[in-house]
Chains A and B, each alone.
Chain A
Amino acid sequence: MVESPPDHPLIACHDCDLVYQETALPPGGEARCTRCGALLYRDTPACVQHSLAYCSAALLVFLLVNTFPILELETQGIHRNATLFGTALTLYQENMAPVAALVALTTLLAPALELSILCYLLLLLNLKRRPPGFAELMRLLQLVRPWGMVEVFLIGVLVSLVKLAHMAHVLPGLGLWSFGALILLMAASAGAFEPHEIWRQYEQCPNR
């Protein structure tokens, strides 16, 4: 197995397989494939710090989202709350176990895994240490990312608000506001994350 020489690294486009020679970019610049327009790599020297800031904030807000009710319904003295976990649990109780599992995966498990893996990897990289299990966790991150759908859930909450408005008094809970913040923070964390640079910094960390 021969690696490309480190001084003239070759890289391939992820979407169309064309090979390029990596060159230094101007600050904040990005390299795109000339054939298919895919992003090859970006100049993001502070990628670890920025991404760590966003994902640790997102992890805290994620705890808030799961602690407080997202919607509160009040009618004739009866009070009901909807939480993320409660939504999945009710579907399970109504004999919709596969649907409940899908809701739990896309709104709880995938974002929780994504944020905790990111925080762990980036925190150790920021301390200039090689995180144990780095390669496996980076692959797990790739695997769970497409299944996190918190932004779609937020629109679902808004649709439910409108649908329920005629039959009861519905209030947005503290969880809903945290939800808005979570989506912005997760988007910022994903935007700041540059795998190419993360792998480079990992290789620069001293072994042990």
Chain B
Amino acid sequence: MSKPLTATQMGLVQCQGCGLLCQAPPPEQDGFCPRCHAPLHARRPGSLQRAWALLIAATILFFPANLLPIMLTTSLGRTQKDTIMSGVVYLWVTGSWPLALVVFVASILVPFAKILALFLLLVTIQLRSDWAPLQRTRLYRLLELVGPWSMLDIYVLGLLVSLVQLQSLATVILPGPAALAFAGVVVLSMLSAMNLDPRMIWDPIGETSD
């Protein structure tokens, strides 16, 4: 092979179910992978629009997730409302700063950086930019890697709620409304990243080098 070509340029399609390289189906016709019978698409139709919609929804939910209380602690008749940030501050001032750092990175930094990164990727793909494709692909892989870590606060909440129902101490921990919003941010941003096909980053590069 003299010059490497992409599957699209060669009239081939990689099956997204099993990875087999197949002959592209004729236009306007449905093709199926001969090995695993998954439908064949060069790029999944409408995936960019879906990624945008899910990302915008995640961004909207990001605000209540951080501003509303995530945990209500009722102790001896007094109710204390904790947001995600005040939970981090609590861990910091009680001396467990390594954990404060972990929770800060997982619950605040990662979701925020993930939303910013998805905006960057979607805007550059939409504009068919040929800027730094390798770095953008790496950013995409990093997104997939760190995505699940934002679930940390949800798990802590669930464990605390199920453990602390102490009548003798008159202490009860209940989940706050931010828990719903935060779970929404995690799920929507993960779905948005799944709809983003990294090959779309590279599509404009193949066109200009011809």
Mark A residues whose CB is within 8 Å of B.
1-4, 9-12, 14-21, 34-38, 70-71, 73, 75-78, 80, 82, 86-91, 94, 96, 98-100, 102-103, 106-107, 135, 138-139, 142, 146-147, 149, 151-153, 155-160, 162-164, 166-168, 170, 195-196, 199, 203
Q: With A12-B14, A91-B158 known to touch, is A71 a contact of B163 (CB < 8 Å)?
A: yes
Report Cα–Cα, A167/B160, bound state, in Å: 12
Are B23 and A2 in touch, CB under 8 angstroms?
Answer: yes
Contacts of B117 in A (CB 8 A): none
Q: With A103-B154, A162-B99 known to touch, is A167 a contact of B169 (CB < 8 Å)?
A: yes
19 A-B residue pairs with Cβ-Cβ distance under 8 Å, sorted by A, are A3-B20, A14-B19, A15-B141, A17-B6, A17-B8, A17-B203, A78-B167, A87-B159, A106-B148, A107-B155, A135-B37, A139-B36, A151-B148, A152-B106, A159-B103, A160-B156, A160-B159, A162-B96, A168-B164
Report Cα–Cα, A82/B164, bound state, in Å: 10
- Among all A-B residue pairs, the 8 with the closest Cβ atoms: A156-B155, A135-B36, A90-B162, A16-B202, A87-B158, A12-B14, A17-B6, A160-B159
Are B20 and A18 in touch, CB under 8 angstroms?
Answer: no
Are B202 and A152 in touch, CB under 8 angstroms?
Answer: no
Contacts of B148 in A (CB 8 A): 106, 146, 149, 151-152
CB distance from A112 to the nearest CB of B (A): 17
Are B21 and A10 in touch, CB under 8 angstroms?
Answer: yes
Contacts of A1 in B (CB 8 A): 22-23, 25, 31-32, 34
Are A94 and B175 in touch, CB under 8 angstroms?
Answer: yes
**B1 adjacent to chain A (CB < 8 Å):** yes
CB distance from A147 to the nearest CB of B (A): 8
Are A166 and B36 in touch, CB under 8 angstroms?
Answer: no
Q: With A19-B12, A87-B162, A164-B160 known to touch, is A102 a contact of B21 (CB < 8 Å)?
A: no
Mark B residues whose CB is within 8 Å of A.
1, 4-8, 10, 12, 14, 17-23, 25, 31-32, 34-38, 90-91, 94, 96, 99, 102-103, 106, 133-134, 137-138, 140-141, 144, 147-149, 151-169, 171, 174-175, 179-180, 183-184, 186-187, 190, 194, 198-199, 201-203, 206
CB distance from B70 to the nearest CB of A (A): 10
CB distance from B191 to the nearest CB of A (A): 10
Are B162 and A146 in touch, CB under 8 angstroms?
Answer: no
Report Cα–Cα, A195/B20, bound state, in Å: 11
CB distance from A158 to the nearest CB of B (A): 7
Are B168 and A76 in touch, CB under 8 angstroms?
Answer: yes
Contacts of A15 in B (CB 8 A): 137, 140-141, 198-199, 202
Beyond known contacts A17-B14, A19-B12, A91-B158: 13 more, CB 8 A cutoff? A3-B34, A3-B35, A12-B14, A87-B158, A90-B158, A96-B175, A103-B154, A106-B151, A135-B37, A142-B17, A156-B155, A156-B159, A163-B91
Are B156 and A146 in touch, CB under 8 angstroms?
Answer: no
Are A135 and B35 in touch, CB under 8 angstroms?
Answer: yes
Closest residue on chain B to residue A37 by CB atoms: B134
Q: With A160-B160, A162-B91 known to touch, is A152 a contact of B19 (CB < 8 Å)?
A: no
Closest residue on chain A to residue B144 by CB atoms: A146
Are A149 and B162 in touch, CB under 8 angstroms?
Answer: no
CB distance from B69 to the nearest CB of A (A): 13
Contacts of B161 in A (CB 8 A): 90-91, 94
Q: With A1-B34, A36-B137 known to touch, is A76 a contact of B169 (CB < 8 Å)?
A: yes
Are A98 and B183 in touch, CB under 8 angstroms?
Answer: yes
Q: Which of A19, A100, A158, A166 contacts B21, CB < 8 Å? A: A19
Are A199 and B18 in touch, CB under 8 angstroms?
Answer: yes
